[in-house]
Amino acid sequence: MSIKILHTADLHLGSRMRSLGQAAPDFQEALIQSFDNLLQAAAELEVDLFLIAGDFLEMAEIEDRELNRVYDLLARERSFPLLIVAGNHDYYSPASPYATVFPEIPRLYVYPAEEIVRLDFPDQDTSVWGVSFSSLYQEMTLLPDVGTEKRVLIYDGFDFVESDQEPDSGLTNKIALVHGELLAGARPEGMYNPLPSQMIKNSRLDYLALGHIHKAGELPEDDRIDRRSTLAMYPGSPQGLSFNESGSRHALIVELDNSELKSVSALPSASRMFIEIRSQLDSSQSDQEIIDQIVAEVQDLDRENYKRHSYKIRLRGEAPTALNVPRLIAGLREQIGHVSLLDELHPAEDVEELGEEQTLRGLFVRKILQDLATVEGEEDRDDLQQALRLGLAAFRGDTLHDVY
């Protein structure tokens, strides 16, 4: 018998993302939206089960009203059961909403910490093992040892009810849900639930639904799936939290049939994206030409939703005279929304050569080049680059009005 699951993890709902500055509220909302989108997609795809493999909530930062909103989304009418294990950012404790208010929600189960629980879904011939983090660190492996579980619950179409099933009476399709770090080899050493690949191989599981690593694992080609062994997958975060999680994101749709993996596919999930691009300029371009060029580049990436994303644009090539970067940013914000520019332009002149001159200009260039060699922050580097170009323009006798 077959089952279709949606597997996601690391949503970090409630994260404040302070480093995003003025883009933060839009991206806080995007976290919630991406989860709502996944719930709706799960209904459309008629999945049998929705799995969340930890770090669902950013527990230290989520505000009460936001938590209520998440509760409302979870409590909304849906046909499929939703299973959650807690990770290091939302570990399970008696005071956690996972233990206090979430148990009221129908068709929702949060696995407790400290003991492995098996949930049976007789209609899909599937058992799902899981256990939550009980604290920030979890140095003992939480990989379920199939057949040793003390607690078994059966899903009756609405609720999860205690059962006196034997530990080794698991159903045909075997899935486990945990948050943790996948390790090569056999040694379970790590701070965040170490999961050695050797143990996974011997686990008798068909699918291991993982969370913790925000970069998605590579999807196996349909004809490359080893259907006899355990497939362990990280779906990655469904909505990026910073430029470290750029580009499109996805959840996984996994189909199992009689203990064999039928397919694993990606379900796009990001409500807003972080996008990094390089824009090649030349010194003859006017401000309007630069703006038009960048807007066109961004539209090419996502014609419909390009205004929703956040862009980091690296300006490359030869700098137009007296280019005013802050003014350029303002122009781009009007047209494409959240933008930051990294000024990596080089001046039209050969600065190394100028730096050898025994003139005031040579001294100026040498000083800036020295500072550029030791500067650390990106912003300071941009400022120095621009100072170099403006200084050279001034030495040429250009008028520098409209600059700062």
The contact set with Mn ion (CB under 5 A) reads 55, 87-88, 212
**DSSP characters over 307-331:** GGSEEEEEEEEBPPTT--HHHHHHH
| Phi, psi values for residue 124, rounded to 5° | -105, 5
Minimum Å gap between C-beta 76 and Mn ion is: 26
Dist. CA 207–CA 147, nearest whole Å: 16
Residue 206 DSSP one-character state: S
Taking the complex as a whole, the smallest distance from the CB of residue 143 to Mn ion amounts, in Å, to 16
Q: Which is nearer to Mn ion, 212 or 309 (CB)?
A: 212
- Shortest Cβ 137–Mn ion spacing (Å): 11
Q: Is 47 helix (H, G, I), strand (E, B) or coil?
A: coil
How far apart are CB 95 and Mn ion at their closest, in Å? 20
For residue 55, the minimal CB distance to Mn ion (Å) is: 4
Q: Among all residues, whose Cβ is closest to Mn ion?
A: 212
Q: In this structure, how many other beta carbons lie within 10 angstroms of the beta carbon of residue 181?
A: 19
Q: Report in angstroms how near the CB of residue 179 gets to Mn ion at its nearest.
A: 6
DSSP assignments along 68-110, one per residue: HHHHHHHHS--SS-EEEE--TTS---TTSHHHHTGGGSTTEEE
Residues 14, 238: Cα–Cα separation, whole Å = 14
| 267, 42 contact by CB (below 8 A) | no
Here the tokens at position 373 are 């060699």
Following CA atoms 207, 212, 213, 219 in sequence, which dihedral angle do they give, to the nearest 10 degrees?
Answer: 20
Q: State the nearest-atom distance from the C-beta of 214 to Mn ion, in Å.
A: 8
Using the minimum distance from each CB to Mn ion, give the nearer residue, 37 or 88: 88
Name the residue nearer to Mn ion (CB basis): 174 or 212: 212
C-beta of 137 vs 400, nearer to Mn ion: 137
Closest to Mn ion by CB, 7 vs 212, is 212
Beta bridge partners of 2: 257
Residue type, position 338, single letter: H
Task: Give the whole-angstrom CA distance, residue 230 versus residue 207.
Answer: 5
Q: Which is nearer to Mn ion, 177 or 388 (CB)?
A: 177
Q: Which is nearer to Mn ion, 35 or 306 (CB)?
A: 35
In the bound complex, what is the minimum distance in angstroms from residue 241's beta carbon to Mn ion?
12
Instruction: Provide the b/e sequence for 260-294 (b: ≥16 CB within 10 Å).
Output: ebeebeebebbbbbbbeeebebeeebeeeebbeeb
Q: Contact, 76 vs 39, CB < 8 A?
A: yes
- Tell me whether residue 10 or residue 382 sits nearer to Mn ion (CB atom): 10
